[in-house]
Amino acid sequence: MKRPIINTIGLIRNQERVALRLQIDLQLLSELKMPLLSEIEELEDPTSPWKNIRFFPRKHFRLLIEGLNDAHKTIFSKEFTNQNYGQFLITVPSFYRNEKLVAFKLYETSVMPTVQCFLGHFFPLDLPQFPKIIVSDFDKTLVETRYSTPRELWRSLRSPLKRFPTLENSLNLLKSHLQQGHIPFIVSASPHFYESAIRDWLYEHHIFTSNIFLKDYRKIFSIVDQELTPKDITKQSYYKLLHLIEIMMMCGHAQDLVLMGDGFESDLFIYTIFQRILSKKADPHHLWRMVLSRKEFNLTSNQQATFLLKVYELTARLASRPAINVKIHIRCKVNMINEIYQKDLGDKELNKLKELVHFYEN
């Protein structure tokens, strides 16, 4: 028999609302038993991505959210449904009937008819009015992963990430910003089943975050889901840019935003476009037309509409707020820096922003 569990959850409160991002999955009850002492050593072994490959799990779940006040009394209750591989992205008010929602109880109500399966009791991360945020890529930014051959890909699936070289300069840069109070987010084009392995690696290096955004390959191979298509196996610009917008919408209005990536893919182009959006000086429609012409995006008609809508939504929210201080760090090899500097990003303003980027080697 299987029961619903939470695979991953992020709960963030800004000044206006609480953003809840989670994924529900099913697990056999026998797998939920507490291990014996003799099994602890096996439990501590880092997770390999292979253990978490679930390409076609149950899609449909119903989530019941109960909001609690300071006296731990339920004052808010609402149900949400989804059809997207157990993924939910929900916003609820920070205050309900003039009382602050300080904690939340979550239940799944559709897997077992008439039974509310308790998923957990959670407290949101309370952000200051103007939080400081750092968003980092993972592959080739924090870890020197290699997927260029079928053998290397198979090895990465079967191995914990600690077997790949750690990029110490990037790790130290990330940790230095965490010490300054930045809230970490990981946005990577790695497949969704790498999440547990990436979280294990982050925890091992004392980076504690549940805010990990990966590419959901189930959407790519889905017949009905139009968010990602097979061409997005090799394209990451659209996916990453939308997640950056999503993070800004979750966090309210950041005071400082740090973006970390690598020079091997399209991070520089993605980050400078995002910085242009946040500057409030760019016309969303102009950016949309520029993105349509770029091979890094190659958008479908559905993705074009989604991108334009999200950019308008974010720029409208930023219109009446202070400017955001954005810093971009790109990790690359020494012999790549001149090539990157000379690369034309296809837009005069983006080329100006490129001059402000900090390039560093590892």
What CA–CA distance (Å, rounded) separates 194 from 187? 12
Residue 299 pLDDT: 82
Is residue 37 located within the same domain as residue 90?
A: yes
Is residue 160 located within the same domain as residue 196?
A: yes
Phi then psi for 127, rounded to 5 degrees?
A: -90, 145
> Could you tell me the CATH number of the domain that includes residue 41?
2.60.40
Check whether 46 has a pLDDT greater than 80: no
Residues 6+ apart with CB under 8 A from 181: 132
- H-helix or E-strand spanning residue 171: helix 168-179
**Residue with the larger pLDDT of the pair 332 and 235:** 332
Q: What is the residue range of 30's domain?
A: 2-126
Longest dimension (CA), the chain: 64
pLDDT tens-digit readout, 187-210: 988 877 788 888 889 999 999 988
Strands 183-191 and 17-28: unpaired
Q: Give the count of domains, the chain.
A: 2
Which amino acid belongs to residue 193? F
**Residue with the larger pLDDT of the pair 54 and 315:** 315
Is residue 140 located within the same domain as residue 89?
A: no
> Could you tell me the CATH number of the domain that includes residue 345?
3.40.50
Confidence of residue 83 (pLDDT cuts 50, 70, 90): low
- Final residue of a domain: which of 95, 126, 157? 126
Residue 44 pLDDT: 45
Residue 42 pLDDT: 46
Structure tokens, 307: 């991108």
Check whether 219 has a pLDDT greater than 80: no
- Final residue of a domain: which of 111, 126, 141? 126
Residue 226 pLDDT: 63
Is residue 89 located within the same domain as residue 184?
A: no
Is residue 89 located within the same domain as residue 137?
A: no
Strands 132-136 and 183-191: parallel
pLDDT tens-digit readout, 112-155: 888 999 999 999 999 988 899 999 999 889 998 766 555 656 66
User: Strands across the sheet with 256-262, in order?
Assistant: 212-215, 183-191, 132-136, 256-262, 325-331, 358-360
Is residue 251 located within the same domain as residue 353?
A: yes
Q: How many CB atoms lie within 10 A of CB 73?
A: 9
Residue 187 pLDDT: 93
Confidence of residue 7 (pLDDT cuts 50, 70, 90): confident
Half-sphere exposure of 161 (CA within 13 A, CB side): 25
pLDDT tens-digit readout, 158-177: 667 888 889 999 999 999 99
Instruction: List C-alpha distances in Å: 250 to 60, 130, 332.
Output: 24, 13, 30
Is residue 245 located within the same domain as residue 295?
A: yes
Residue 332 pLDDT: 87
Strands 2-13 and 125-126: parallel
Structure tokens, 152: 């290397």
Is residue 299 located within the same domain as residue 330?
A: yes
Residue 96 pLDDT: 92
Is residue 179 located within the same domain as residue 213?
A: yes
- Final residue of a domain: which of 126, 156, 191? 126
Residue 149 pLDDT: 56
pLDDT tens-digit readout, 264-303: 778 999 999 999 989 877 788 888 888 887 877 888 888 8
Is residue 55 located within the same domain as residue 90?
A: yes
Is residue 197 located within the same domain as residue 53?
A: no
pTM comes to 0.84
Check whether 181 has a pLDDT greater than 70: yes
Is residue 153 located within the same domain as residue 69?
A: no
